[in-house]
Amino acid sequence: MSSILKIENLSHRYSTSWAIRDINLEINHTGVIGLLGSNGAGKSTTMSIICGVLNQTEGQVWIHGKDTRKDSEAAKSNIGFLPQTPPLYNDFTVMEYLTYAAGLRQIESHRIGEAVSEAMERTGIAHFQSRLIGNLSGGYRQRVGIAQAIIHKPKLVVMDEPTNGLDPNQIIEARKLIKEIGKEHTVLLSSHILSEIHLLCKEIIMIEQGRIVFSDTMDAFNNYIQPGSLLLRMENPPSVAELLSVAGVTSVEYISEKQARVNFDGSQEVSERIIETGVRNGWRIREANLDKNLLDDIFKQISTQSAL
C-alpha cells in the first residue's frame, strides 16, 4: 500500500539562503497531523512544494505513490490545498465558485452537482449557496475555501494557517470542521500557534530553521510542555476572579485595561474553555494567543536536544 505522503531529502533554496534542508517524513494514515514552527521556519515552503505550487531545489515528494515532478497531474489529483488566503472569487456565488472548482478538479460533468452539494453539506454552507462570496463573513469564506479543498475527495488535505484572521468564535467552528475532515482524510495542518496544534492533532512535525527537529505523537510532545500562559485582549474584560473560575487557570495578571495574561496548568482545553466562557458572559474576546515565550522555549529545548 502506497504512503499518502512521502518526502525524501527535500531542500529548497531562495537565492543563496536555504529555506528548508533535508526534510524527510512519511504519513500513511488518516487524521490531523500538525506542522508546527515559528514564522519563517519553512512550513509554507514545505507545503507549497508538496502541493506543486513550488518546484524544490532538491529531493522528492510522492502523493499516494505518485511523484510530484514526474507525474504531477496524478499527484495533484490526490491533494486538496487551503493556502493562508483562500483562493476565492468574491463576485461568484458559493454554488458558482464550487462548480468552477469541481471543473478545475476534473470531476466528471455528470457528477459535479452531487460533488458540490456534498462539499457544501460537509462544510455547513449549503444555506448560503446563492450568496455572493464577497458578502460572507470571514468564517464562512474560510468554509468555502475548505469546501473547494475537499470537493474531489483527495487523499491529502493541506491547510496553511487555516484559522488565520478569524475571530475566536470562528476559530472554534473552524477547528470543529477540521477535526471532522480528519476522520476521512489525511490533514496536514500548518500553524505557529501551539494551542491550536495541541487541540487538533495526534501527531506533530516541528520545523525550526528549515529542518525537522521533532516528529512524534502528541503524547511524546507533551513531555516538553510546561504550564504556560495565554494572552487575551477583550473589549469587556471580566474580573480576575471570573477568569480564575475557569478550570485549568492558575493565575491572572492584567497587563493593561483590556489585556490579560492568563497562566494555566498545561491542560489542552484551557483556551477552548476560556473562549466559550467569554462568549457566554459577553467578554468580547478579540485575541487569544499562546504566549510566544512558551513556544520559543519549547523550540529551543527540542532544537538543543536534536543537535546533541
pLDDT value, residue 64: 94
Whether residue 225 is predicted with pLDDT greater than 70 in this model: the reply is: no
**H/E element, 16:** none
Q: What is the DSSP letter of 226?
A: P
pTM here?
0.76
Buried b (16+ CB within 10 A) or exposed e, 207-243: bbbbbbbbbeebeebeeeeeebbbebbbeebbeeeeb
Mean per-residue pLDDT over the chain, rounded? 88
pLDDT value, residue 179: 93
Categorize the per-residue pLDDT at 157 as very low, low, confident or very high, splitting at 50, 70 and 90. Answer: very high
Q: Tell me: the pLDDT tens digits for 178-216?
A: 999 999 999 999 987 777 887 889 899 989 889 998 899
How do beta strands 285-290 and 58-63 pair?
A: unpaired
Q: Which domains does the chain have, with CATH numbers?
A: 5-222 (3.40.50.300), 229-290 (3.30.70)
Comparison of pLDDT for 274 and 121, the residue scoring more: 121
Alpha helices in 5-89 (DSSP H): 43-50, 72-76
pLDDT value, residue 164: 83
